[in-house]
Amino acid sequence: MRRSFLALATLLVVALPACISTSSTHATDAAAAAAASKVTGNAETRPVNLQQLNLAPARSGTYDPAKDPTVQVVQRVQPAVVNVTTDLFESSPFGGTQPGQGVGTGFIIRSDGVIVTNYHVVEHAQRITVITPTTAGSNGQSYSARVIGGDQSADLAVLKIDATGLPTVTLGDSSKLLLGERVIAMGYALALKGGPTVSSGIVSALGRVINAQDPNCEKACPGGGRKYSDVIQTDAAINPGNSGGPLLDLNGNVVGINTAGSGNAENIGFAIPINDAKGTILSAMENPGAAVAYLGVVTEDVTPGLAAQFNLPVTEGAYVVSTAPGGPAEKAGIHAGDVIVSFDGSKVTSSDQLGSLIHQHKPGDDVQVQIAGSSGGQRTVGVTLGVNPLP
């Protein structure tokens, strides 16, 4: 997933002991030769019969993995750990925007489809998809999701999908965590297929304060950086794609939200304490944001310079830079390079005005959009507005 990794400069020197064990007595050359001859003779006269060996897979010892607390937690929690993917537009190194994709993790806290994740997982999303894992009892399913609440500055987002009867996790009490306590991190690390990745470790520190760069957090993050206070440090591996996944105690309770790792140091990851997130989660569930109408375009104002650069047939309107994959505009046949000059009977003179006209409608409304194409002709298309994944 697109995520913020901390630049932690640490020099680690590991010394490997070079140990050589020697005998305190010495055999004569003759005795050594005689012993070697005896071993060789035995090997020649009594070859190993492989058919007499039992090579069947078997477990030995007293360890029972089914009773391992880590295994038990993973089996219980895994069905509620979901993959969160986004289609988004991000800044291009050559200027403007370009389409991209993000991958992160979330966990289900209410059976009707309320999900918690990091805000940076869904920032700038044009479409959010939640994919439940395949388990012994069910096949994975894909759902469209939208943000119903959260706190961008605290890197928290609460999502909603249309579903019922989903498995859930239990929110624990992060104030009772102890240094050295064993914890488990789950998430879709590196977007690898086959379900969530599991890593385990301990609580390495409590109350850390860290800063992480997030260039996509313009409004709530001064200087493009987000400050995290009172976070949990763990040596459980937290890699790109783990963002938004649960950090669990050995009772299977969520005690943190996996958020950041270090690209320059091993065994250092950070999680937001779940107690710090409970207020935001409760507020989103009690007062979910209303669904907002959505066209699925990124536009900019038509200026004389832009009109001359692209040889546009009009001098005002909203120039379509790109369309969201599978969004209402793309489905209706609106393309990058088109200019929207009218929306549902109202003249469009700027991108901001287009946004205001869209917000006057509700998801599901059918509208007529007039387009000026790059070839000079104009056309009108019918569009059914969708649901904006972000508030």
* Residue 153 falls in the annotated catalytic set: no
CA-CA distance, 274 to 173, in Å (whole number)? 7
Strand partners, 138: none
Residue from 4, 174, 243, 342 carrying the catalytic annotation: 243
The secondary element (H helix, E strand) that includes residue 318 is: strand 318-323
Contact 244, 258 (CB under 8 A): yes
Q: Which residue is listed with tokens 């929690």?
A: 77
Residue-range domains of the chain with CATH:
74-161 (2.40.10.10), 170-210+221-275 (2.40.10.10), 293-387 (2.30.42.10)
Nearest by Cα to 226 from 242, 237, 215? 215
Q: Supply the pLDDT for residue 15.
A: 29
Instruction: Give 236-288 pLDDT, tens digit per residue.
Output: 999 889 999 999 999 999 999 999 877 676 789 999 999 999 999 999 999 99
- Backbone φ and ψ for 374, nearest 5 degrees, come out as -65, -20
Contact 320, 335 (CB under 8 A): yes
Residue from 120, 276, 338, 351 carrying the catalytic annotation: 120
Q: Supply the pLDDT for residue 93.
A: 66
Residue from 87, 151, 155, 235 carrying the catalytic annotation: 155
Q: Poorest-confidence range of 208-222, 249-263, 320-334?
A: 208-222
Number of H helices, E strands in the chain: 7, 21
Cβ–Cβ contacts within 10 Å for residue 378, how many? 13
* Residue 174 falls in the annotated catalytic set: no
* Residue 120 falls in the annotated catalytic set: yes
- Backbone φ and ψ for 217, nearest 5 degrees, come out as -100, 80
Contact 95, 306 (CB under 8 A): no
